Chain A
Amino acid sequence: MKQKLPLLIVLVLGIFFTIQFFVPSRASEVTYQTTLQWWLVMSSFAMVLALGSLINHHALKIKRRKEGWWNSWVTLAGIAVMGGLGILGGPSFRMGWANDAYTRLFLFVQAPMDSAMFAILAFYMASASYRAFRARSREATVLLVSGFVVMLGIIPFGAMLWHRIPDIAEWVMMVPNMASKRGILFGIGLGATATALKIILGIERSWLGGGGK
C-alpha cells in the first residue's frame, strides 16, 4: 500500500492533467484551478520541510563534531538572524527596524559576498582559456576561430575593426550554434517525455526512494 498508493496517484493525475491541457471545458478549468491552489499549499509545506531538514542536518553535524562542524554554526546563525528579522519585518509584525536591518544585511553583506564569489570565476576562466585554447587540431582551430569571432562581435572594438564582424558573430550563434543546440534539445525533449511516461506508468520508481526497489 505504501508503494501502490503514490503510484496510483501519479498514474491518475499524470493521465488526467495530460488530457486536461487539451480540454477547454469549464469543468476541466475549475479542476485545474483547484489543483493549483492545492499545489500552492503543498509548496508552503515543502518549504517548512526543507528548512527543518537543513536545520536537522547542521545540528547533527555539530553534535557529531564532523569535519567543518563550526561552519554549521554560521549557517544556523544565518538562518536564525535573517529568518528572525524577516518574520519581524514582514507583513505579520511590520517592525520597521527589523525590515531595515534585514534589507541592509542582504544588500550590504550577502549581495557583495555572492557577487565577489561569482566574479572570482572570471580570473580562473581567463587563466584556463589562456592555457587550454590552443590550435592543436583541426577541430580545436575551428573552435578557436569561432570563439575569436564571437568575442570580437560582442565588443564594440570588433565593429570598429570591420563593421560586418557583429553580423558574422550573430550568424555563428544563430545558425551553426543553434543547429547543434536544436539537435541536443530534441534529444532532451524526447528523453524527458519518455521519462515522464515511465514515471506515470510506474516503470520508473526511483522517485519513491529506496533505489527503485
Chain B
Amino acid sequence: MKFLIALSKIDRRVVYLLLALAVVVPMIVSFNVRFHVDRSTRDLFEAVDRIPPGGQPLMLVFDYDPQIMPELDPMATAILRHCFARGIRVVGVTTGAQGAALGERAMARAAAEHGKRIGEDYCYFGYKLFLSMIYFGENARRALPVDHYGRPFDSLPMMRGIRNYDDIPLVIDLAGSSILNSWIVYMGARYHVRLGAGVTAVMAPDFYQFLQTGQLAGQLSGMKGAAEYEQLVVERGYAPAKGLASRAMNAISASHLLLIALIVMGNVGYFAARRAKPKNPQGGA
C-alpha cells in the first residue's frame, strides 16, 4: 500500500527529468510512425492542391514569433514544399514584426530546395501592418508598394495582374495569436477571401467553429497538423521524405504517453491514500 501511495508523491524534479528524456530521446532515435490525418488537415491540403500550377499565387502569412516557431515553422515548410513541388506560386507576408525574419528564412530554404526564383516563383513582402493587408483588398499595388528587399511591386513578374484578394485563390494564415480572428472578420467577411489556417495546438479549439461554418477551408493544428501535412505531401509524391514535424511528433507522442502514465499513477496513489485513511466512526471531520 505504501508503494501505491508513493506513486502520487513523485518529486517534481523526477517528473522534469522524465519529461526531458521523453522529448530528447525520440528526437535522436528516429522512428517512422504513420499518422491518422484529421479532416481539417486533409481539407487544407486539398485546397492547396486544387490551385493550378503557374497561375494565381497562394498567400502565406507568417503571423508567428520565435516562441511558437517550433510548432508553426514546420507547417510553413511543409506547405511551401507542397506548393513549390507542384509549381504553385507563393506570396509571403507577415503582420507581426517578429515573423519577418522567420518567414524570410522559411521561404528562402524551401525555394533553394526546389530551385525557385524570387519574383517569378515566389515573392516575400516581409512585415506589413495588418491595415495594409486590409488595404490589399482594395488595391494590392498600393498596399504592398515594395517587397522585403525594396523591389517595387511592378518589377516583380509574378505580381503582374494581381489587383486584390480576387486574384489570390487561397490565403493561409500561420498564426500564434488572435490575429487569425481579424483575418476571418476583415478579409473573410468583407473581401470573401478563401482562408486556411495553421495554429498552435492550444489555439486550435478556438477555431473549430470556423471550420464547421466553412469560413476556414482547412486548418493545421499544432505539430500534429504539420506532421499530418508532411505525411500527405510524401504520400502524394511531392517530397521524398517527411520533415521535422514528424520527428518532433515522436517526441510529443512520448511526452503524452508519459503524462498519461503520470496521471494514472497519481490517481492510483490518490485512491490508495483514501482507502488507507482511517474512517471516523462518528462521521465528523
Contact = CB atoms under 8 A, between A and B. Distances in A.
Contacts of B94: none
A135 interface: yes
Interface in B60-106: 65-70, 98, 101-102, 104-105
Contacts of A107: 101, 105
Interface of A: 21, 29, 32-33, 36-37, 39-40, 43-44, 91, 94, 102-103, 106-107, 110-115, 117-119, 122-123, 126-127, 129-131, 133-136, 144, 148, 151-152, 154-157, 159, 166, 170, 173-174, 177-178, 181-182, 185
B256 A154 contact: yes
A40 B256 contact: no
21 contacts: A29-B138, A32-B138, A36-B135, A37-B135, A43-B131, A94-B150, A107-B101, A111-B66, A115-B66, A115-B67, A115-B69, A126-B262, A129-B263, A130-B262, A130-B263, A131-B266, A152-B256, A152-B260, A155-B253, A174-B212, A178-B212
Interface in B27-65: 33-36, 38-39, 65
| Most chain A CB inside 10 Å of its own CB: which residue of B67, B70, B249 | B67
A29 to B, nearest CB: 8
Interface of B: 10, 12, 15-16, 19-20, 23, 33-36, 38-39, 65-70, 98, 101-102, 104-105, 129, 131-132, 134-135, 138-139, 146, 149-150, 190, 201, 205-206, 208-209, 212, 224, 249, 252-253, 255-260, 262-263, 265-267, 270-271
B36 A166 contact: yes
A21 B185 CA distance: 12
Contacts of B263: 129-130, 133, 144, 148
B266 A126 contact: no
Given A40-B132, A173-B205, A156 B33 contact: yes
Contacts of A111: 66, 69, 102
A91 B146 contact: yes
Contacts, number: 135
Task: Give 7 closest A-B pairs by Cβ, nearest first.
Answer: A111-B66, A114-B66, A91-B150, A155-B253, A166-B36, A118-B67, A130-B262
A32 to B, nearest CB: 8
Contact of B34 (A122, A152, A156): A156
Contacts of B12: 127
A146 to B, nearest CB: 12
B67 A114 contact: yes
B253 A127 contact: no
A111 B69 CA distance: 8
A54 B201 CA distance: 32
Contacts of B146: 91
Contacts of B131: 36, 39-40, 43
Contacts of A36: 131, 134-135, 138
Given A130-B259, A136-B270, 7 more contacts: A106-B98, A115-B70, A126-B19, A127-B12, A127-B15, A133-B263, A181-B208
A156 B252 CA distance: 10
A185 B208 CA distance: 12
Contacts of A91: 146, 149-150
B199 to A, nearest CB: 13
Contacts of B201: 154
A178 B208 contact: yes
A85 B35 CA distance: 44
Contacts of B255: 122, 126
Contact of A129 (B38, B65, B262): B262
A129 B138 contact: no
A36 B132 CA distance: 8
Contacts of A144: 263, 267
Nearest to B137: A36
B135 A155 contact: no
Contacts of B35: 156
Nearest to B139: A33
A157 B262 contact: no
